[in-house]
Amino acid sequence: MEYLRWILLAIAVVIVIGVYVWSRSRKQRTGSYASLYADNELPSISAGKGTGNEWVDGVGPVRVRRTDNDIDEVLASIKEDARPGSKLARMRREAMLRNVAKTDSAKTDKANASPDVSNAPAQEAAKPVSSAATKTEDDLVALYLVAPRGEQIKGEQILSASYAVKLEHGDKHIFHRHDSDGSVMFSMASMQEPGYFDIDNMHQMKTRGITLFTQLSYCTRPVKTLDEMLVAAHSLASMLGVQVCNADRKLLDENYTLGLRAKARHFADQS
């Protein structure tokens, strides 16, 4: 009987030792939770470095697609593209103006049946300006911004767009662009009676179109005045959704613009 107890005791000791050895070897294979999350043994989650073991307990490796620096670079790039003076902003602006010009050209060609006078401005600009009467007759340059057929421009739209292109309401109740010395470069009036703008009731006003005009003989810098007037006209047309037309109410084209530039250079040479 004593012999049997020793046998059972020996078997129990063997079982305990076996359990201890088995649990320790398993712990060495998988690692303890403390060692896994020790500060100096944290697993790398960098997208540029391998983790060694690609899969642990059925969970794949963590991959970071962008770092904070990458995001900052992207945001900086977006801000740069949206900047008004950036190359992309200029390209978008030019494309928008080309699309507006194409649309306006199609509408104007259908609406107007008068003969083409695109070469007339260049011919008129080539004529010498020798007398005061001729000078008074030829120094006026006018551009018309006309709404599509059946539509009108609202006063509040005109007011907002005018301030955007640095036109200020002033003398004779119309808008003016001033030069750096304070002189008037060009002005803007309504095409419909009474022609001026009641600044206090712009929200009630509607008009078929507006006109930009200047007298080159009174401009200290005729060429610059014409250039800024052309830019303002196209900017207003884009904002208001209207057509830029010449003095004959036909869509402003390259030939007519060249004639205006020749006229401006002529008056610049005379000053």
Residue 29 is predicted with a pLDDT of 56
Overall average pLDDT of the 77-105 stretch: 46
Instruction: Give residue 20's pLDDT band: very low, low, confident or very high (50, 70, 90).
Output: confident
Contact indicator for 143, 234 with CB cutoff of 8 Å: no
Q: Which amino acid is at 201?
A: N
Give the tens place of pLDDT for each residue, 28-72.
Answer: 554 544 444 444 444 443 334 444 444 444 444 444 444 444 445
The predicted pLDDT at position 15 comes to 84
Two structure tokens written together for 147 = 């709404």
Cα dist from 261 to 220, 226, 255, whole Å: 15, 7, 10
Measured in degrees and rounded to the nearest 5, phi and psi for residue 246 equal: -85, -170
Distances (CA, A) of 129 to 69, 132, 136, 245, 266: 65, 8, 9, 25, 9
Residues 212-238: pLDDT tens digits?
Answer: 999 999 999 999 999 999 999 999 999
Phi, psi of 183 (to 5 degrees): -75, 155
Give backbone dihedrals phi and psi of 92, rounded to 5 degrees, phi first. -65, -40
Categorize the per-residue pLDDT at 16 as very low, low, confident or very high, splitting at 50, 70 and 90.
confident
Strand locations in the chain (E): 140-146, 153-154, 168-169, 175-178, 184-190, 206-207, 209-215, 243-245
The pLDDT mean for the chain works out to 72
Higher pLDDT pick, 178 / 138: 178
Percent of the chain with pLDDT over 70: 56
Which residue did the predictor score with more confidence, 40 or 169? 169
Share of the chain above pLDDT 90, in %: 46
Residue 214 backbone dihedrals phi, psi, to 5 degrees? -155, 160
| CA atoms within 13 Å, Cβ hemisphere of 170 | 16
Query: Is residue 195 pLDDT above 50, yes or no?
Result: yes
Sign, Cα dihedral of 7, 8, 9, 14: positive
pLDDT-wise least confident of 106-110, 144-148, 257-261: 106-110
Reported residue count of the chain is: 271
- Longest pairwise C-alpha distance within the chain: 147
- Please name each of the domains of the chain with its CATH number: 130-270 (3.30.1400.10)
